[in-house]
Amino acid sequence: MDLSETYKGLIVCDLSQGVAGPNATMLLAQYGADVIKVEPPEGDWARTMGERFGDHCAHSYTFNLGKRSIDLDLKSVDGQTAIRKLIQRSDVFVESFRPGVAARLGLSYEDARKLRPSIIYASLSGFGQSGPYSQRGAVDALMQGFSGMMVMNQTPTGQPHRMNMTTVDVLSGLYLFGALGAAIFRQRQSGEGGYLDISMMQSAAAFQAAKIMEFHLAGGKPKLLYMPVGCLRTRDGAISLSTMRQEHYEALCRSLGREDLISDPRFAELSTRISHGEQLMRELERETSHYETLDVLQKLHKAGVLVERIQTYGEWLRDTHVQHTNGYRWIEHPVVGQVPFVTLPGLSLPPPGSRRLRAPQIGEHMAEVMKDLDQ
């Protein structure tokens, strides 16, 4: 099923910056929408998130694929004239300003709706458009801490731990993309637009909804779901395993020649394995550390144990299964040459040279878009 033109003809006015909003609008572009990224003259600040190659870093290139870019000074008369023309032609408007900024620029939902009554208007912010924290600045690391994610992901010593990527940003973009999909469906059915208030705070919580409920039900002290689970070192690397069922645990122990761990009263049942988890993992690692990674994987896979090699991104790119399933393709970056483009789940690979495989330079499509708006 080719879904790459699902949103063909849909025009999106994208004022979002960073990762969260641009992720949602990038997905719209990959599904065929004409996404016009409106940047300040200096460009989206996300273009500086890491080493920069020309107009882009890896983050800004990834989350702006398939868009057209114009640069406007929204405080100027010319900028205001251009953005209003664009809103009049747009089906969707996305902004990620701090609450109140869009209104001060004359670009609130009420302002946009006067220009385009059927418009879908989405605001993405840290804490939402109202409430005591609405004016606080928010970035991914803060939201990981605020939401409980860093405690849920704490180290064995109890130190809160941040996932070293823009996790909440990406998740927020996915939730926004889902909400926009439903709003676009309704718009196409009834001609009605509407307003969406999407916050990073709520997105982070929604992602952890089951863990938050579990925390409450456990009186603030949730236990592990099963054991053994996690990382075990090998002679040349490490493996990650998960033994959800008793038969998986017993197969693991037999494969490693440690049948004694099956009858050991500390580990015989799930509840006692959880209570003595650290001791159990040490016992198992004594065995796996004698094996090369590929050898222990072969042994455990044959026994039906759920286990995989812990890989770097480079190893993932070289993995034979990833390559066989077209998990990514090499695309041409205008400055550095070929870079890997990870295939989006549910979408077929775009043909070479497709606009879906390019991210725009700052204001690259200014003349083109302005000509379209004057027609």
Q: Strand 306-309: give its sheet, edge to edge.
A: 229-233, 238-242, 306-309
Residue 344 is predicted with a pLDDT of 95
Q: Does the pTM exceed 0.85?
A: yes
Q: Do residues 156 and 44 both lie within one domain?
A: yes
The continuous run of DSSP H or E covering 90 comes out as none
Residue 348 is predicted with a pLDDT of 83
- Does residue 4 fall inside a structural domain? no
Q: Do residues 297 and 162 both lie within one domain?
A: no
What separation in angstroms does the CA of 263 have from each of 106, 170, 224, 227, 228? Answer: 71, 45, 21, 15, 15
Burial class of residue 253 (count of CB atoms within 10 Å of its CB; 0-12, 13-18, 19+): buried
The widest CA-to-CA distance across the chain, in whole angstroms, is 79
- Does residue 217 fall inside a structural domain? no
Q: Do residues 307 and 330 both lie within one domain?
A: no
Q: Do residues 131 and 274 both lie within one domain?
A: no
Among candidate residues 266, 286, 311, the one where a domain is terminated: 311
- Does residue 222 fall inside a structural domain? no
Outline where 243-365 has alpha helix (H).
246-255, 260-263, 270-275, 277-288, 293-302, 313-318, 320-324
Q: Do residues 89 and 130 both lie within one domain?
A: yes
| Sole residue written with tokens 């925390």 | 215
How many angstroms separate the CA atoms of 303 and 326, rounded? 28
- Does residue 2 fall inside a structural domain? no
Provide the residue range defining the domain that includes 264. Answer: 229-311
Q: What is the dihedral of CA 142, 147, 151, 155, to 10 degrees?
A: -60
Burial class of residue 323 (count of CB atoms within 10 Å of its CB; 0-12, 13-18, 19+): exposed
Provide DSSP, 25-86. HHHHHHTT-EEEEEE-TT--GGGGSSS-BTTB-HHHHHTTTT-EEEE--TTSHHHHHHHHHH
Q: What is the pLDDT along the chain (375 residues), one digit of tens a residue?
A: 889 999 999 999 999 999 999 999 999 999 999 999 999 999 999 999 999 999 999 999 999 999 999 999 999 999 999 999 999 999 999 999 999 999 999 999 999 999 999 999 999 999 999 999 999 999 999 999 999 999 998 887 889 999 999 999 999 999 999 999 999 999 999 999 999 999 999 999 999 999 999 999 999 988 888 899 999 999 999 999 999 899 999 999 999 999 999 999 999 999 999 999 999 999 999 999 999 999 999 999 999 999 999 999 999 999 999 999 999 999 888 888 899 999 999 998 788 778 899 999 999 999 999 998 887
Residue 72 is predicted with a pLDDT of 97
Q: Residue 262: which CATH number?
A: 3.30.1540.10
Please say whether the beta carbons of 350 and 55 come within 8 A: no
Q: Residue 50: which CATH number?
A: 3.40.50.10540
How many angstroms separate the CA atoms of 13 and 89, rounded? 9
Residue 349 is predicted with a pLDDT of 79
